[in-house]
Structure 1
């Protein structure tokens, strides 16, 4: 019987690009995978590996959103799991690991712009929509979603 080793660990912003490109920016230039703030000191990138293969990513940015009055806010960006590995709970593991990181930094709110088709996934993790949908050009309809930590 063979076992798959799953590990979530910190990675560099550059290491996120192949998964961001494949899942979030398919058919677009690789440069669209570079996010403002990727290399800020307070930004972290986590990679989920199955037997040393990077199959999922999530990035956490120290970023304020005026929709929230809380001071210690973090934004999740670039959450993606390669298509053949979706639906197996790996995205949930990544979000929970990002939440742990935010809790360790005494976050008040975690927020992000969720693609329309990802809303049910995040709702299962107790995130709520605030405001109306909006269009990110060439990416699609999004909703701001959030969770208050304490």
Structure 2
């Protein structure tokens, strides 16, 4: 793995990677969130290349992450693992009691390795199945 650095970034810096990794066949607008300006956004840089992004939103002590994406040419290198560990530490430090996401069903196993648990809340968007997954945090 290249030398990595994780930084808080502007919301617009997340859009290119979100688009490329998640919905390349849709317009760029499909990856922009209405409340992007209210979120906290993190980027993982491998060398000097922004490779993985995630956006975090809070409601009291419940935190949600959205649009967790790794650039196609950077996938499989452990960057998602590094960034997810970082945001779990970050929200724990911020006082979170729970962290949740709307995960692609195909990625549920990845999140389970970190202690996330599937709920029975399943949805479908852009022909992709999603399940809400939750991580209880001890603070």
TM-score range, shorter chain: over 0.9
Query: Greater Rg, structure 1 or structure 2?
Result: 1
Give SS of 2:81's match.
helix
Give me the CA root mean square deviation.
1.5
Offset of 1:88 from its aligned partner?
1.8
Offset of 1:45 from its aligned partner?
0.6
Normalising by structure 2, report the TM-score.
0.93
Q: Residue 93 in 1 paired to residue 91 in 2? A: no
Residue 17 of structure 1 corresponds to 15
Moved segments of 4+, more than 4 Å: none
Q: Please, which runs of 5 or more residues in structure 2 have no aligned partner?
A: none
Residue 68 of structure 2 corresponds to 79
1:28-107 paired onto structure 2 within 5 Å? 28-40=26-38, 43-63=39-59, 72-107=61-96
Normalising by structure 1, report the TM-score.
0.86
Q: Distance in 2 between matches of 1:125 and 1:87?
A: 17
Count of residues paired in the alignment = 138
Give SS of 1:87's match.
coil
